[in-house]
Amino acid sequence: MNITKENGTLFIDLPSECTIVKTEEHIKMLRSFFMPAELKKVELNAEAVEEIDTAYFQMLLSLKATAEHHKIPLSVSGMSHEVQKTEELYGLRF
C-alpha cells in the first residue's frame, strides 16, 4: 500500500496482494495518515489488486464507514476485476 497526502486529499494505492497477512500493517498505515480535520477527500486506487480476501475487504469497508462518519468523500478508481468480484460476492459497493 502506498499512501500520500496532498492538498487535503489522501491518495491510497492498493497493492496486488490484499490479504490478511497485510491487513494489520495497512491498518496502522491508514491510522497514521487519516486525520479527519486535515482531509477533504480520500481517493482509493484499486487497479493493481490481483488478490483480496475477506479481512482486507472488511478493512476497506471500515475505511469507507470512517470517511462517511467524518463526512469525507471517498472515491474508488481503477477497480480491478478481483475487487469487483468481491463486491458482488458480498453485495456491497464502494
The pLDDT, as a whole number, for residue 93 is 81
Integer Rg of the chain from CA: 12
Domains in the chain, CATH or no CATH each:
2-90 (3.30.750.24)
Q: Is the pLDDT of residue 94 over 80?
A: no
Nine cell digits for residue 72: 469525507
Sign of the Cα torsion 6, 9, 10, 11 reads negative
The pLDDT, as a whole number, for residue 42 is 97
For the stretch 43-93, pLDDT in tens is: 999 999 999 999 999 999 999 999 999 999 999 999 999 999 999 998 988
- pLDDT category, 12, cuts 50, 70, 90? very high
CA distance readout (Å), 70 to 19, 37, 55, 67, 83: 26, 9, 23, 5, 24
